[in-house]
């Protein structure tokens, strides 16, 4: 979902479209599980859009500069995309749940950001917190950089899972070898015991033969 949504937003930005409402609730799946970005009610064409203070906007995913100068750009969309990634890896949890708007605004302006769950791939957490949620719009990644970053992360995760699977298979094979060795060792001992028994039987038979000859 993350990569597909990134491609969609990259396309919008390439067409000079600022979405202004990037969130999980506005991402739809088609039959092939491709993500389609929806709800263009707040979108604007151009490099930036300055809104009036009376307009209603989704504040929980807004970039800091949107609170201070009411200006929206592609960089503010990037900040919101970081919140979208947080929603994905938080199982669609609500950002800043239970926190009042005024308090949330102060937190964001003071550099406080949402915390990713521990199970989130560390590369995702690092990319979002350092390059998408920067307080300075000019320090944030562009969407084409995010697309490439997510592509690399997906490849790294796939490689990690492959290595883990190979290690698991090697562990299972190692266990089989140990079991086989134990069985082989047990058979060797059994063979030795049978050989010893035969020697004893032969020795007893020879002993009896000598006794008869002596008598």
Residues acting as catalytic residues: 21
136 φ, ψ (degrees, to nearest 5): -95, 115
Token pair in block for residue 91: 């199982």
**CB within 8 A of 75, min separation 6: which ones?**
63, 137, 138, 140
Token pair in block for residue 59: 């504040």
23 vs 61: CA distance, rounded Å: 7
Query: Which of these, 117, 20, 111, lies nearest to 70 by C-alpha position?
Result: 20
List strand residue ranges (DSSP E) for 56-211, in order: 71-73
């Amino acid at each position: 979902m993350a990569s597909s949504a990134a491609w969609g937003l990259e396309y919008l930005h390439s067409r000079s479209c600022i979405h202004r409402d990037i969130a999980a609730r506005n991402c739809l799946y088609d039959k092939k599980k491709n993500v389609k970005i929806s709800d263009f009610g707040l979108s604007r064409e151009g490099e930036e859009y300055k809104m009036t203070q009376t307009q209603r906007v989704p504040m929980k995913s807004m970039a800091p500069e949107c609170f201070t100068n009411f200006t929206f750009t592609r960089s503010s969309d990037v900040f919101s995309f970081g919140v979208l990634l947080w929603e994905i890896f938080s199982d669609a949890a609500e950002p800043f749940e239970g926190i009042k708007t005024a308090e949330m605004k102060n937190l964001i302006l003071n550099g406080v950001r949402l915390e990713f769950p521990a199970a989130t791939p560390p590369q995702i957490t690092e990319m979002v917190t350092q390059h998408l949620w920067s307080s300075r719009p000019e320090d944030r990644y562009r969407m084409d950089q995010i697309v490439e970053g997510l592509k690399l992360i997906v490849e790294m995760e796939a490689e990690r899972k492959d290595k883990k699977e190979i290690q698991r298979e090697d562990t299972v094979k190692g266990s089989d070898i140990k079991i086989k060795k134990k069985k082989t060792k047990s058979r060797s001992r059994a063979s030795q015991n049978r050989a010893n028994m035969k020697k004893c039987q032969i020795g007893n038979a020879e002993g009896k033969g000598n006794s008869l000859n002596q008598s």
